[in-house]
Structure 1
Amino acid sequence: MSANDPFARLPEVPAFTVTSTTVADGDAWAAEQMSGIFGVPGGKDVSPQLTWSGAPEGTKSYAVTVYDPDAPTGSGFWHWAVADIPATVTELPEGAGDEAGAGLPAGAYQIPNDARLARFIGAAPPAGHGTHRYFVVVHALDVETIGVPAEATSAFLGFNITSHVLGRASLMATAEIPAA
């Protein structure tokens, strides 16, 4: 467990595997996953490609979240949240988290991030603030639908995930913007 570990006080659950052709665990985001919306030069706000396997038996749906616990807000920053991904789906293409959610499977929907946009928003750590960690997590759930309204917050989705989670697959990306 590292400092400010977003899983430190959550129930322990079995791990399964998530990989990405976009970013390897521990590596820095590419420009595509940085935030042009927040003014990062070259940022494109493109959600990462994800593939997962080995979810626990009894999984009925998935949720995907991207969270930065290092944001200087006192509560971190939710970059992306997707609910009600069917249990038969084990991959999201790069760019699935655009404003239309065009790459999401039928039935899945995006919850507004902390910028109140129902889409993926890329990394934009404050210049000179140091390296930020972005936890990309696939949550295996014991329900087909999580029952969270589409206009809810990502944190509310996270709260509801906690009582339905069977397993968790995660990778961590990083980003840093040097001081000017």
Structure 2
Amino acid sequence: MLRVLGVGALGLTWAATAQAQGVFTLTSTTFKDGQLMPRKVANNLTTNPNCVGENISPQLSWTGVPEGTKSFVLLMEDPEGRGGAGVHHWVAYGIPPTVTGFAEGEVSKPSDKYVGGKSTQNVGYYSGPCTPAGPPHHYTFILVATDLEPKELPAGLTREEVLAKIVPPAPAMSRAKGTTGLVGLFQKPN
């Protein structure tokens, strides 16, 4: 009886693992989804008093990559920034399918692991939060698996230009194979 239960338990464990591996997921060891991010991820621009950090990009990794993925797009946005107009903190694309994440601090400067787009701050690499005093802002990290070749898009595209390439107007087909995301909060310390 124990042997049968053991096999049953093993079968259930295997099934749960197989199912979990099939889900496209973005995670971070720097912060938990829906929780406050540490101060070090905030920007360090000396010209802006709301930039109180070290501009160290968070660790990000992904699993369960959809079949047929040729590259990834990674966006970081603050929808509450600029009085609700939104701020695009990072636009990266052309990330090869062999890349499964970025180490903490790795994308605080240009990298050969991705093509840098143009953020609201006009930079092609991670640009951390500069949250004003008040309630926390929600920083959304969006990862899109695409069927675009890693070098298919030129450097310097804005978020809107990249999204137009992934999801062109009808009747053209979407180039997205799957999407996942992660939200980190940041509040300017008192």
TM-score bracket, shorter-length normalisation:
0.7 to 0.9
1:155 maps to amino acid: E
Larger fraction in helix: 2
Which of 135, 141, 159 is equivalent to 1:154? 159
2:99 aligned partner: 89
Helix, strand or coil at the partner of 2:93: strand
2:68 maps to amino acid: G
- Following the alignment from structure 1 to structure 2, what is the Cα–Cα distance between the partners of residues 143 and 97? 21
2:183 aligned partner: 172
Count how many residue pairs are aligned between Structure 1 and Structure 2: 161
Per-residue Cα deviation, 1:91-131 (whole angstroms, up to 9, x for no partner): 11111222332xx52xx221121010122111112222x22
CA-based RMSD: 2.2
Counterparts in 2 of 1:73 and 1:153: CA distance versus 1, 3 Å: farther
- Following the alignment from structure 2 to structure 1, what is the Cα–Cα distance between the partners of residues 23 and 131? 28
User: Does 2:131 align with 1:121?
Assistant: no
Q: CA deviation at 1:146?
A: 6.7
Taking every aligned residue pair, what percent have the same amino acid on both sides? Answer: 32
Counterparts in 2 of 1:131 and 1:159: CA distance versus 1, 3 Å: farther
- Following the alignment from structure 1 to structure 2, what is the Cα–Cα distance between the partners of residues 64 and 41? 22
Tell me the TM-score normalized by structure 1.
Answer: 0.79
1:34 aligned partner: 42
Tell me the TM-score normalized by structure 2.
Answer: 0.76
- Following the alignment from structure 1 to structure 2, what is the Cα–Cα distance between the partners of residues 88 and 22? 22
1:176 maps to amino acid: Q
Runs of 4 or more consecutive aligned structure 1 residues displaced over 3 Å after TM superposition: 38-42, 145-148
> Map of 1:55-134 to 2, 5 A cutoff?
55-101=65-111, 104-105=112-113, 108-128=114-134, 130-134=135-139
Cα contact 1:15–1:167 (8 A) shared by 2? no
Which of 59, 83, 87 is equivalent to 1:49? 59
Counterparts in 2 of 1:51 and 1:160: CA distance versus 1, 3 Å: same
Helix, strand or coil at the partner of 1:158: helix
Cα contact 2:51–2:131 (8 A) shared by 1? no
User: Does 2:144 align with 1:139?
Assistant: yes
Which one has the largest radius of gyration? 2
Q: CA deviation at 1:42?
A: 4.2
- Following the alignment from structure 1 to structure 2, what is the Cα–Cα distance between the partners of residues 135 and 145? 23
